[in-house]
């Protein structure tokens, strides 16, 4: 139980730092959440008999939702219950969009520490598929800073646009993705 | 360790941080209350006895009933904006507020001769209260639903209902400053009817609007 608590405190500290604009802390947070979210997604989908749903897609939807809704976390609380809430919401949502309506119990999430489910690899193809419905410009920026790992400045330079424009385009791209994976039935 | 490429994009987008939800709630509640209150008092004015009402204990008790509700609902409203569902445990403060209401109603029942109960309950402004208070509450509710929509509400119906109840309490407070009917009997009956209506309205519109 102590290991879980220590982990929660570390993650919460990263999230607080991220709220102050610390990008390194944010990267640490998201990287630490990734295997936990994979585990949650795989187990939940298997449990409700939806193992055919691509769990990596669901993981990306959850990550995006965590990002877009990060202002709803109450800094005085632990971050993991909030993460579980978002994850649960997005898993149910993902199932519903694929034509299933099932309850996913939240409580069992809390026992998941971090047990990678046998996949470590870069999920480039999955990301490329995830963003394929974006317009050219938004997709290019999103892929440049994600798959290619460029900074916003380098991506802007390569595309011959200003850094500000690149920043706005990236944000709109993520927002569009959140909409595609959030409200479409 | 490889990380997911999406993380790079999210990290680069970190500076786009939206305003904290708690700030948004404070700001929207503040602005909409001031706006709606100004319009209402501009049209109908304060009570006839104006400042003198502040010396009236019954008037102050009436305000305290509504304030107690607003304070009790404040943390619940924040809960309703986030992905962790509102649980009965979050309603503890509301339980205390309910006890306070019961105490006030009990006190009134003891102090007021039986023969006057009916008059206290019906007051002079029941129908006006019933029409005007929802009109005060609806713009507040609209502002609150827009705010919650930008959050991550878990349980669209419950979150909408919480927003409706909260806005009814604020509308009640705004209206209470105008209304000369101070009996807890009147408040619980007429204000209560409006609160039920706004809560149901919040729940129904939440169902439609608070999906994300």
Instruction: State pLDDT tens for residues B102-140.
Output: 999 999 999 999 989 988 999 888 888 899 999 999 999
A172 and A91 in a single domain? The answer is no
User: Per the structure, how many domains does chain A have?
Assistant: 2
A112 and A133 in a single domain? The answer is no
All residues of chain A having their beta carbon less than 8 Å from the beta carbon of residue B4 are 30-31, 34, 59-60, 63, 122-123, 127
Q: Specify whether the CB–CB gap between A48 and A38 falls below 8 A.
A: no
CA distance linking residue B3 with residue B179, whole number of Å: 62
pLDDT value at residue B58: 87
CA distance linking residue A48 with residue A40, whole number of Å: 12
pLDDT value at residue A129: 79
What number of H helices and E strands is found in chain A? 8, 0
Verify whether the Cβ–Cβ distance B83 to A82 is below 8 Å: yes
- Report if residue B10 sits inside a domain: no
Examine the fold and report which residue of A120, A135, A157 is the final residue of a domain before the chain moves on.
A120
**ipTM of the complex model:** 0.86
A94 and A46 in a single domain? The answer is yes
All residues of chain B having their beta carbon less than 8 Å from the beta carbon of residue A182 are 212
Verify whether the Cβ–Cβ distance A171 to B84 is below 8 Å: no
Q: How many CB atoms lie within 10 A of CB A17?
A: 16
Q: Specify whether the CB–CB gap between A150 and A37 falls below 8 A.
A: no
- Report if residue B14 sits inside a domain: no
Residue B211 tokens read as: 């999906």
- Report if residue B20 sits inside a domain: no
Pick from A19, A63, A167: CB nearest B6? A63
pLDDT tens across the length of chain A (185 residues): 577 788 899 999 999 999 999 999 999 999 999 999 998 888 888 877 776 778 888 899 999 999 999 999 999 999 999 999 999 999 988 888 777 666 666 556 665 555 555 555 546 777 787 888 888 888 888 888 888 888 888 889 888 899 899 999 999 998 888 888 775 43
Verify whether the Cβ–Cβ distance B78 to A69 is below 8 Å: no
- Report CA dihedral (B41, B47, B52, B53) to the nearest 10 degrees: -100
CA distance linking residue A60 with residue A87, whole number of Å: 10
Verify whether the Cβ–Cβ distance A19 to B17 is below 8 Å: yes
pLDDT value at residue A100: 67
Pick from B5, B12, B151: CB nearest A69? B151
Verify whether the Cβ–Cβ distance B13 to A124 is below 8 Å: no
All residues of chain A having their beta carbon less than 8 Å from the beta carbon of residue B14 are 18, 21, 23, 26
A104 and A160 in a single domain? The answer is no
A54 and A66 in a single domain? The answer is yes
Verify whether the Cβ–Cβ distance B11 to A74 is below 8 Å: no
A127 and A144 in a single domain? The answer is yes
Reference B152, options A68, A157, A119, A26; nearest CA is A68
Residue with tokens 């309490």: B169
What integer is the mean pLDDT of B150-175? 96
- Report if residue B165 sits inside a domain: yes
| Whole-number average pLDDT of chain B | 92
CA distance linking residue B6 with residue B9, whole number of Å: 5
pLDDT value at residue A98: 76
CA distance linking residue B117 with residue B127, whole number of Å: 18
B1: distance to nearest CA of chain A, Å? 8
Residue B152 has pLDDT above 70, yes or no: yes
Residue with tokens 């646009």: A161
Cα–chain-centroid distance for residue A112?
17
A127 and A47 in a single domain? The answer is no
Residue B120 tokens read as: 């206290």
Q: Write out the residue range of the structural domain in which residue A158 sits.
A: 122-185
Contacts (Cβ under 8 Å, ≥6 apart) of A68: A174, A175, A178
pLDDT value at residue A42: 87
User: Per the structure, how many domains does chain B have?
Assistant: 1
B208: distance to nearest CA of chain A, Å? 12
Q: What CATH code is carried by the domain that includes residue A133?
A: 1.10.10.10
A160 and A104 in a single domain? The answer is no
pLDDT value at residue A55: 84
Distances (CA, A) of B152 to A71, A178, A179: 9, 12, 13
Q: Specify whether the CB–CB gap between B77 and B158 falls below 8 A.
A: no
Q: How many pairs of residues across A and B have Cβ atoms under 8 Å apart? A: 127
A116 and A155 in a single domain? The answer is no
Q: pLDDT for B46-83, tens place per residue?
A: 777 767 777 788 899 999 999 999 999 999 999 999 99
Examine the fold and report which residue of A100, A120, A140 is the final residue of a domain before the chain moves on.
A120
A132 and A182 in a single domain? The answer is yes
Verify whether the Cβ–Cβ distance B9 to A170 is below 8 Å: yes
Q: pLDDT for B7-46, tens place per residue?
A: 999 999 999 888 999 999 999 999 999 999 999 999 988 7
- Report if residue B15 sits inside a domain: no
CA distance linking residue B5 with residue A181, whole number of Å: 18
The angle subtended at Cα B78 by Cα B132 and Cα B159, nearest 5°, is 65
Q: Is A125 on the interface with B (CB under 8 A)?
A: no
């Amino acid at each position: 139980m102590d290991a879980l608590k220590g982990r929660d405190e570390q993650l919460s500290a990263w999230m607080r730092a991220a709220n102050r604009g610390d990008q390194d802390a944010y990267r640490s947070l998201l990287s630490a959440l990734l295997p936990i979210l994979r585990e949650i997604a795989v187990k939940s989908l298997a449990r409700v008999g939806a193992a055919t749903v691509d769990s990596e897609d669901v993981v990306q939807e959850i990550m995006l939702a965590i990002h877009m809704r990060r202002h709803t976390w109450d800094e005085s609380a632990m971050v993991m219950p909030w993460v579980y809430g978002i994850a649960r919401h997005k898993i149910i949502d993902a199932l519903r969009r694929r034509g299933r309506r099932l309850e996913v119990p939240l409580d069992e999430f809390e026992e998941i520490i971090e047990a990678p489910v046998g996949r470590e690899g870069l999920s480039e193809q999955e990301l490329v598929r995830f963003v394929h419905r974006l317009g050219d410009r938004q997709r290019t920026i999103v892929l440049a800073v994600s798959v290619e790992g460029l900074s916003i400045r380098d991506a802007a330079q390569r595309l011959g646009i200003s850094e500000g424009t690149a920043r706005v385009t990236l944000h709109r791209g993520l927002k569009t993705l959140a909409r595609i994976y959030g409200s479409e039935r | 360790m490889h990380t997911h490429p999406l993380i790079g994009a999210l990290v680069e987008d970190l500076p786009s941080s939206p305003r904290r939800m708690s700030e948004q709630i404070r700001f929207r509640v503040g602005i909409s209350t001031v706006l709606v209150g100004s319009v209402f008092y501009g049209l109908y004015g304060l009570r006839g006895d104006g400042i003198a009402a502040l010396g009236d204990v019954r008037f102050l008790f009436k305000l305290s009933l509504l304030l107690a509700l607003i304070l009790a609902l404040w943390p619940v409203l924040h809960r309703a904006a986030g992905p962790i569902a509102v649980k009965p445990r979050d309603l503890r403060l509301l339980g205390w507020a309910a006890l306070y209401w019961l105490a006030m109603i009990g006190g009134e029942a003891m102090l007021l001769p039986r023969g006057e109960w009916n008059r206290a309950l019906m007051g002079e402004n029941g129908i006006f209260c019933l029409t005007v208070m929802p009109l005060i509450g609806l713009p507040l509710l609209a502002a609150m639903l827009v705010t919650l929509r930008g959050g991550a509400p878990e349980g669209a119906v419950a979150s909408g209902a919480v927003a409706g109840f909260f806005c009814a309490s604020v509308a009640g407070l705004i209206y209470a400053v105008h209304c000369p009917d101070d009996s807890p009997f009147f408040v619980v009956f007429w204000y209560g009817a409006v609160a039920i209506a706004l809560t149901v309205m919040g729940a129904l519109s939440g169902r439609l609007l608070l999906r994300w």
